[in-house]
Structure formats: C-alpha cells, structure tokens
Amino acid sequence: MFPSEIEPSMPEPDHCFANLRGVRWRVNLGVLPFQASSIDDLRKATAESRRRYASLRRRLLIDPHLSKDLRNSPDLSIDNPLSQNPDSTWGRFFRNAELEKTLDQDLSRLYPEHWRYFQAPGCQGMLRRILLLWCLKHPEYGYRQGMHELLAPLLYVLHVDVERLSEVRKHYEDHFTDKFDGLSFEERDVTYNFDFKKLLEGFADDEEVGGIHGSSKKIVSLDELDPEIKSIVMLSDAYGAEGELGIVLSDKFMEHDAYCMFDALMSGSNGCVSMAGFFAYSPASGSHTGLPPVLEACTAFYNLLSFVDSSLHSHLVELGVEPQYFGLRWLRVLFGREFLLQDLLVVWDEIFSADNTARRDEDNNSFMIFDSPRGALISGMAVAMILCLRSSLLATENAASCLQRLLNLPEKIDVRKVIEKAKSLQALALDEDVRASALSVNNVFDQSVSPAIPARTNSFPSGSTSPKSPLIITPQSYWEEKWRVLTAEEEKQSPSAPPPKKKASWFKVKRLFRAESEPAHSGKTESKGGLASVARNLLEDFNKQVVSEPEEVVAVNNEDSSVANRVDVVNNEDSEEANREEVVNNEDGSVQETDEANREDAVNNEDGAVEETEERNVDFASAGEESITAVEETSSDVFSDPNSPLRHSNSIENDSDSSTGSILFANEKVEDQETSAVDSPLPVSSQPSIEFPVVQSNDEENTTDLDKSVAVSKERNKPFPGKFQWFWKFGRNLTGEETRSNGVESSKSDLVSSSESHSSPQASSSSSKGESDQNMMNTLKNLGNSMLEHIQVMESVFQQERGQVQAGLVENISKANLVEKGQVTATTALKELRKISNLLLEM
Amino acid sequence: MVLVLALGDLHVPHRAADLPPKFKSMLVPGKIQHIICTGNLCIKEIHDYLKTICPDLHIVRGEFDEDARYPDTKTLTIGQFKLGLCHGHQVIPWGDLDSLAMLQRQLDVDILVTGHTHQFTAYKHEGGVVINPGSATGAYSSINQDVNPSFVLMDIDGLRVVVYVYELIDGEVKVDKIDFKKASTSTSAP
C-alpha cells in the first residue's frame, strides 16, 4: 500500500507533498494513508498515530514516584530502589536511565556540522525519548548505534516542514485574516461542534491529559476557521477533523510524528526491507541464506555488482574486501554517513518513494532485499556508490586502502548521478534472471568459506574440484550463451532489430557504466569505431594507433573486418571474435567445451614461457615495489597451473562481460608509454586476465603522479577491448610483445624485458613442438605474422611518438628525456622481436 | 531524583566480619548518588568498599574509627533538603529523641542521621526527620545484644523524601518505607 509514485488523481496532496518532504515521507513510509480521499483522512491518520505514540509514551516512560501514587499497595520487597527484580518499576527505571545514558553518548555526537539544530536541548530530548521508546517497544532489537542517525534526518525533515509552514504563514498573514472575517458564524459553529465531539471521543479511550487537552480547549476559545485552500495551510489547519491533534504539520507533535516515521522505517511497514532487521543478528524468518538480514543484503549487492562490473567485483573479492566491511555502515544508516545531510535527504526521497511491498513468490530463492523495489534500490545505491569509486578502487592494492576509499566517499559525488545509476541498477536487480541466479550464488555461498563469492566466478568450485571437469552452473552458462547470441546479433550489423528485452537492460547497464567511466569523451571514442579494419591509417596518431593495435591484430588473424560502430559493441564483438578464433583453432565439442578446452590447450602451450616471464615479473616486483609482490606471486602460481579453474572463469568472464580487464590493461600500457613511469617493471603484462587490477593500480599511481584524470586514460584505452582475449589466445606472443612495449618506455627494465621477450617465444616454441599438430603450426604461423605486423606497428608508433613529443604533448614533455632513453632500448627490443618472428616463421 | 544511602556502625572487623551478602548484592554501583555514613566503620577497607558503591561519600567519626580525620558532625544539602550527620555517641542520652532534636536544631537541618544505638529508628519531628539507620552489619552494641542488620535509603525528590528501610530479619531482607514531605523550603527549623 505504499505506491512508488503519487497518482495524478490526487492533485491536492500531490501538490503539497512535492514541497513538504516530511509529509511525503510519512505517506511513503506508510504513516499516513496514501489513498486518502480528503485532507481529513490524513488528519485522522495523523491524529491516530499521535495518539498511539502518546499512549506508548505514557506506558513506557517510567517515573517511580508517580507510579507509587497510583498503586495502593506496592510490594515493597519488589518495588524498592535496590530491588534486584528487573520487572520492578525501579528496575525498569534504572534500565531506562542506563539506556538513556547510552543514547546521550551517541546523541551528543550527532551531526556536529548541524549542531545548531541537533544539539539543541529540545531536539536532543525528542531524539532521546523517541529512541528510548522505540527500544523499549522493541526489546528484541534494543538500541544499536546508528539508529539515532536514522532518526535524526526524519526529525529534521519534519522540522524543515514546520519552518516552511511558518514562513508561508508569515507571508500570507494578511491574506488569512481577511478571509477569516468573511466567514459566516454558523458555518464555523457547525464544524466546530462536530470536530470537537470527535476529538473528545478520541480522547475518551486513552484519557489523555495535559498538553493535548489544553490545546483542544484553545480551539474553542480561538473560534476561527481557516478556509485557506492551499494544501500547506490545510495541513496546518487546527480546526479540521481531529482538531489540533490532526494538524498534519505541527510543531507540537513533531516528536510523535518522528516516532511514527521512525517506527515505520524500522519495521518496514510489513514490507521486506526493515531497517530494524539490519540491526539484528539473527537471520530473518523468510531468509534463504540463513544470514542476518544485513549480511544477506551485503551479499546481495555484491552479487549485483558482480553482474554489473565483474572485474571490479573480482578485484574486491581478491583483495578480501567483503561487502559487510563497509556495507554494514552503509546499510544500517541508509547511507547516512556517506552523504551530507542535504544530499542524504534526496537519497532518502528516492528510497522511500520506492515501493517496499514484497512481491515474493513462495518458491523464490533470491535475496530478500531484491524482493521489493525499495530493497532493490538500496542495493542499487550501494552498487552505484561502489561504481563511483571504481577507478580508485581498482587502483588499490590492499584491502585496507580499498576500505578506506569505500568508507570515505569523496564529498563531491554527484548524488543525482548516483541515484540515477542506482535506479537503473534497481531495474536490473528486480530482473528475474538476476534474482534467479542469486540462487546459485546462495548455494555457492553456503558451501564456501568466504561470503563474497561472486556470481560470475561461481564456475570455479569452492573447493578443489577436478580441473578436467569445469563446473559450469546453469546461470553462468546461461549468461554466457546469452552473450554469445547477443554479440552474434550485433555482428550481423542489424542495428534496426531491437535486441531482446533483457539484453537491452543489460546493455543499458553496460552503457551506463561506460558513460560513467569515460565522461565527456564520447566524441573521441565514437570515432574509433571505424578504426577497426584499417590499421595502417590509424598509426598516424599516437592515441589512435594504440587504439587500433588490437583490432588490427584481430583483423589480421581473423579476416573479419566487420566491426560494429557502437563503442560498447566493439568490445563484445572483439571478444566474440576472439572466441571464434579459438573455435576455429580447436574444432571439437560444444561451444562451451571448446572454449574451455581451447584455453587449456593454449595455456599448456604457453605455460613454460609464461611461467618464465612470470618469474621475471615477480623478480621485478620484489625489486621494485614490495606491496604488489605478494599478489603477483599468487597470481603467478595460479597462472603456472594450467588447469586452474579460476583462470577459466576469469577468461570467460572477460569474454562475455565488459572488456574492463582489457581496458585496464591497455590503460596500463598507455600510461607506461606516456609517462615512462619508474615502476614500469610492475605492469605484469603476462597475466592480463588475472592480474589486471594490480596493473591498473600501478598505472593509477602513475596517473595520480601526473595529475591526470583517470577518465582521460580510460578514454584512450577504451578501444582496446579485443586485446584481452587476444592476449589470451596468443599468450606467448603477447607476452613478448607486451613486455617489450613496457620495456620500450621504461628506463630500468628495458634490457630484462627484451631478453624476456626473447626467451618467452623460444620456450613456447619448444613446448609447441611437443604438441606438433597441424593446428598448432597454423597458429604459430599466424603468430609470426601478427608479430611482424606488430613490430611494424610499434616502430611507426615510436616515430609518431617522437614527433608528438617534439610537438609538445603536455604529458610527454616532462618525461621527454626518459622517453627518449626508453626508445633506444625499445628499438633493440624490436630487433629481438623481429628475430623471434623470423624464427617462428621458419617453423 | 537522588538516592542517598545512609548506613553506619559496621564495626568491621571487631564485631562483624563484613556486610551481609544479601546487602552487598543489593548495593550495586550506579544507582546511588550519595552515601552518608554515621561512623564506626571501623577500618579503611570498609571506607574503600563504600567508595566503590558511590564515590560521593560523607562520613562522621565514631568512637571506634581509626581514621581521625573524620569530622564529628557534618551537614550537606541534597536537593532542597539539608542533611545533618553525626555518629550519636556524643548525644546523651543515646538515641534520645529530644536530645537529637536539639542537635537537629543546632545543625539547622531537615534530616538528621545518627547511629550508635544499632537500632533502626525514624521520627518525624518538628518538621524534620530524625533517622537512625541501625547497624549495617548487625554488630552488637553496648545497649543491644541482638541486632538485625539494617540500613536506610533515602529517595529525595523535590520537596519529598521517601525513606526505604532495609532490614535483614531471619535471612530475609524486609523493606519498609516512610514518606516525608517538606512543607516548604523555608521551614527547616523554628
């Protein structure tokens, strides 16, 4: 009963709620009825909720002195100040006092930047009473830190509404009085009698005394009627239904209203997202995961993240950043600590306006939080916030710094953008497929140690399953298949044909994500679509050259020059091409199996070389930067094991998903070339699929050094999508090439890298000899060809680059010396490469 | 609302080993704001123990107290009540209401708390109260051989004080209470 939007059939409340956030929230949270036919309904509901609070307050706030008066024969052995009985009046009193002390500790530190309002004694008192009452009412939850931060904005919103009301009052004061005079006395009288009777009836039940009665008397004495049509005044009308108690905007009953809102928010109004659940330690009743709701929610939004941005997700998982580390804080206070109060209100506007009713079917096994639009939006928010930090998160190399970034969001974050993204993510979260696939995640989750196992990587078993049987769970292969179909469709160059609905949503997300990662550079990227087939032409410009390089390779190998114009399609297509290439090489089994097997073969072939280069890289790393070493070593371990399922899943992930990995990788390369960074040995070029986050982190450092925005580098790197797959396929070849390209600009490691590039092909060739089958020979020939091509490309690059340096590219000028130095060594490396390729061709 | 614990005549270790366990379990920190003690603790350990219940501790000197720094009488104001404290061995005859009333007027207090007799008494007298919390350990006295351990807790709230009397009779804590309202702030003593 809490629809997400206000229907147009209710122009009156719609109008006022637009301006009055407090009222709108109350409606959205279910305190006020949504389908109120008149203002009177609102008033009645308001009065009712306030009465409930008043009676609760009377019942639960204990004053032992007053209670003594009421009782005739108190059992003194129980009811004395030193009583050990927790149920005695005094026992409860002391417990309340203790709770209040705890509350005060938190409340006194609440919103120090808004201390003028929140630290005022009146506000503190209200907050304390509300929290105290809520905790007493819900002893199963009790008070937990963070609840006060959920409550404070609610109270603040009410306060703002009331202030606005008084403003309006002041403004229209003369207007009001005029209208009062024009009214007939009889009309007023009738209304009064009616209302007041009702008011008394309402009070008859709970015998409210004190303030409310006093105010009701005031109504009689004042004897005037407010006829203002404006809803804001209607809501503040003291003389409508329920009298003063029914004033929707009331200074006096702010505490009552805030409590009702807080209660509704905490309980979730029977919806599936209840904030109170986020503070509980026991799993919710309907939970399938057997986790406390907040942990389940954390897992849910990580799951969502894995769908949207698997590379970032796997990076976080690799670092061991579990979602609850920051998710607890985010979710428990509904992002209250991440945004400034003004922004937070906007965020909450959206969250509250989302419907919270569960649309749960009994056999649904997804996360509970995905069951309602509100829950989905909350998880969408979380993912959107993570995505905001995407680049800086990928740059981190350990969990601590990662968490530090997650827990200290930059203040300049554009809330509206985040919300917009969250909304599209919400749509995705509500998508049945994601929900369905959550089931498998849950299963994996239950078995595994870490709760952060992503959906994408659930193809690798949590334990140690036989590598020969790559365990592919249905949803994963499902997505895989979907991508295959999708990319194939795109390749057919049928832009007019609308893609299936779900794919469309996927694309939306992807594009959204894209747009985020390279804002304001769309013009440049768009032009790159056409670069695919014509490699030579593109070498004229350095950027363009870098862009075209992989695509050219793909074209050479594949002879498939049809490349879609859409930028994000390019990625998919490239990956598809890579896949196809593999299929061509190994024509056995189903698509999936081929994919897997092919990879394994390729890995086997490359193994020796790769391992060697890996070791070298590790050496470099230990010599250079110590922090990365560990990661690298682990990755090299993984890498050297050809049967590691992890790799498969990763590669699949990269094939089918966004090309972020390759982006990063390319990014690294570009950065290296541009900046000739000191830590060039680090780029670990030979482990693209697994280690791209690390790579990214290196070049992120470079980026920060250069004061360059990440977006720029991203934009440049973006058109590298196919490179990744290409790396995979011709791992050895690429290893050589890539290391060379690193060495080109690096002042330190050039010799080593050249030797590396020299050694790796030999190793691989020897290993491939062992295989000695026709396919391999063909492949090797292809490799040689492509290598030659690359060498030519690189040479022209260097020429170009030199020219650019002289022309005065801003980034390059400062590093010109280093670049020059690097180029000398690069040329030697090129020679080596040429030798290798010749050797290969002979084979 | 202030809770004031009044006790005295513990005579540890000479006449009693310690407070009764039941009392000890009731006297927990955090509830009581002030302790007034009529003396005869007699050793520092008891003083320290009382400090753990509540740091605001007021003690007058009994004839057996080791610590000679305790004053003979002490007055303090809690809320709107003025409290007087004296061990009582100086007031002769011991425990006599008229003599105590004299002391009450002398000190100009609303509530006079004395000890020494090891017998709980509470009188409303001349617009004030005279209280003897008895012996908290049930130590014998020269007057009384058979003494029930007892102490007094005063709940002072505005112009009203409720005196709770805790007495250990046959191993059971018996609680009684006495209400006392002050007429107004000015009527402390004639």
pLDDT for the residue numbered A180: 45
| Whether B164 and A68 lie within 8 Å, measured CB to CB | no
Q: Which two tokens stand for residue B138?
A: 């049930």
Return the residue of B nearest to A90 by Cα. B31
Task: Give CATH superfamily name and number for B1-179.
Answer: Metallo-dependent phosphatases (3.60.21.10)
Tens digits of residue pLDDT in A367-415: 666 777 888 888 888 888 888 888 888 888 888 888 888 888 777 778 8
Comparing A50 with A802, which gets the higher pLDDT?
Answer: A50
User: Which residue type sits at A78?
Assistant: I
Segment A605-632 shows an average pLDDT of 42
Q: Inspect the interface and report whether the beta carbons of A77 and B173 lie closer than 8 Å.
A: yes
Chain B CB contacts of A94 under 8 Å are: 30-31
Highest mean pLDDT among A79-83, A189-193, A666-670, A759-763: A79-83
Task: Please give, rounded to a whole number of angstroms, the shortest distance from the CA of B36 to a CA of chain A.
Answer: 16
Segment among A120-129, A700-709, A792-801, B170-179 with least mean pLDDT = A700-709
- Is A82 in contact with B177 (Cβ distance < 8 A)? no
Q: What are phi and psi of A519, to 5 degrees?
A: -75, 145
**Do residues A310 and A657 make contact, with C-beta atoms less than 8 angstroms apart?**
yes
Residues 61-100, chain A: which have Cβ within 8 Å of B?
Answer: 64-65, 68, 76-77, 80-82, 84, 94, 98
ipTM: 0.80
**Cβ-contact A241, A40 below 8 angstroms:** yes
Test the B interface: residue of A65, A69, A82 with most B CBs within 10 Å = A82
- Count CA atoms closer than 13 A to A123's CA, side-chain side: 22
The C-alpha atoms of residue B39 and residue A622 are separated, in whole angstroms, by 75
**Is the Cβ pair A81, B155 closer than 8 Å?**
yes
CA dist A840 and A677 (Å) reads: 32
B177–A76 C-beta distance less than 8 A: yes
User: How close B125 comes to chain A (CA, Å)?
Assistant: 24
**CB burial string B69-103: b at 16+ within 10 A, e below:** ebeebbeeebbbbbbbbbbbbbbeebbeeebbbeb
- Could you tell me which chain B residue has the CA closest to the CA of A77? B175
Summarised one tens digit per residue, pLDDT across range A41-53 is 777 888 888 888 8
The candidate with the shortest Cα–Cα distance to A665, out of A718, A731, A602, A737, is A718
- Measure in Å the smallest separation between the Cα of B144 and chain A Cα atoms: 26
Taking only the tens place, the pLDDT of each residue in A727-749 is: 444 434 444 444 444 433 443 43
Return the number of other C-beta atoms located less than 10 Å from residue A472's C-beta.
Answer: 19
Nearest CA-CA distance, residue B143 and chain A, Å: 29
Q: Which residues in chain B have their CB less than 8 angstroms from residue A80's CB?
A: 153, 164, 166, 175, 177
Size of interface A-B (CB pairs under 8 A): 36
Residue the block writes with tokens 């004080």 = B161
Q: What is the pLDDT of residues B106-125, one digit of tens each?
A: 999 999 999 999 999 999 88
pLDDT at A159 over 80: yes
Beta strands in A329-434 (DSSP E): none
pLDDT band at A706 (very low <50, low <70, confident <90, very high): very low
Token pair, residue A86, equals 């927790």
**Most A-contacting residue of B3, B165, B175 (CB-CB within 10 A), to test interface:** B175
The Cα–Cα gap between A479 and A473 comes to 10
Largest CA distance in chain B: 44
Distances (CA, A) of A309 to A381, A551, A714, B120: 14, 23, 15, 78
Contact at 8 Å (CB) between B28 and B141? Answer: no
**Residue B153 to residue A77, Cβ atoms within 8 A:** no
Q: Report the residue from A65, A77, A80 with minimal CB separation from B157.
A: A65
Q: Is A398 on the interface with B (CB under 8 A)?
A: no
Hey, are the CB atoms on B26 and A82 less than 8 Å from each other? yes
Please state whether beta strands B73-78 and B57-59 pair in parallel, antiparallel, or not at all (unpaired): unpaired
Rounded to an integer, the average pLDDT of B180-188 is 64
Sheet holding B128-132, edge to edge: B73-78, B81-86, B111-113, B128-132, B121-125
B126 falls in which pLDDT band (50, 70, 90)?
Answer: confident
Percentage of chain B with pLDDT > 90? 56
**Nearest Cβ partner of A80 from B1, B30, B175?**
B175
Highest mean pLDDT among A200-209, A501-510, A657-666, B91-100: B91-100
Closest Cα to residue A420, out of A385, A369, A394?
Answer: A385
- Residue A587 has φ and ψ, to the nearest 5°, of -100, 65
Point out the residue among B3, B25, B160 whose CB comes nearest to the CB of A84.
B25
Rounded Cα gap, residues A789 and A477, in angstroms: 35
Mutate to test the interface with A, among B31, B35, B159 (most CBs of A within 10 A): B31
Q: Is residue B26 less than 8 Å (CB to CB) from chain A?
A: yes
To the nearest whole Å, the CA of B175 is away from the closest chain A CA by 5
Per the CB < 8 A criterion, the answer to whether A372 and A355 are in contact is: yes
Average of per-residue pLDDT across A417-423: 84
Which chain A residue is nearest to residue B29, measuring alpha carbons? Answer: A82
Shortest alpha-carbon distance between residue A64 and chain B (Å): 10
Is A80 in Cβ contact with B164 (below 8 Å)?
yes
Return the residue of A nearest to B168 by Cα: A77
Closest CA to A370 of A311, A453, A437: A437
Worst-scoring range by mean pLDDT, A549-558, A794-803, A813-822?
A: A549-558
DSSP string, A2-70: --SS--TT-HHHHHHHHH-HHHHHHHHHTSS-SS-SSHHHHHHHHHHHHHHHHHHHHHHS--HHHHHHH
pLDDT at residue A807 greater than cutoff 60: no
Does pLDDT of A695 surpass 50? no
The span from the CA of A251 to the CA of A263, in Å, is 19
Instruction: Kindly determine whether residue B31 and residue A82, on different chains, have CB atoms separated by under 8 Å.
Output: yes
Task: Tell me whether residues A82 and B160 touch, CB distance under 8 A.
Answer: no
pLDDT class for A242, splitting at 50, 70, 90?
low
User: CB within 8 A of A552, min separation 6: which ones?
Assistant: A532, A535, A538, A789, A793
d(CA A608, CA A599): 15
pLDDT at A293: 79
Q: Which chain B residue shows the shortest CA-CA distance from A98?
A: B30
Q: What is the pTM of this model?
A: 0.54
Encoded amino acid at B189, one letter: A
Put simply, the answer to whether A81 touches B3 (Cβ < 8 Å) is yes
- Residue among B1, B160, B176 whose CB faces A76 most closely: B176
Do residue A94 and residue B160 have CB atoms under 8 angstroms apart?
Answer: no
Mean pLDDT of B74-97: 91
Query: Cβ B153–A81 below 8 Å, yes or no?
Result: yes
B171 interfacial to chain A (CB closer than 8 Å)? no
pLDDT in tens, A645-693: 444 444 334 443 333 333 444 444 444 444 443 343 443 334 434 334 4
Distance in angstroms (rounded) separating the CA atoms of residues A762 and A765: 5
pLDDT at B51: 93
Give the mean model confidence (pLDDT) for residues A51-57: 86
Whether residue A610 contacts residue A732, with contact meaning beta carbons closer than 8 Å, is answered with: yes
The reply to whether residue B164 touches residue A84, judged by beta carbons under 8 angstroms, is: no
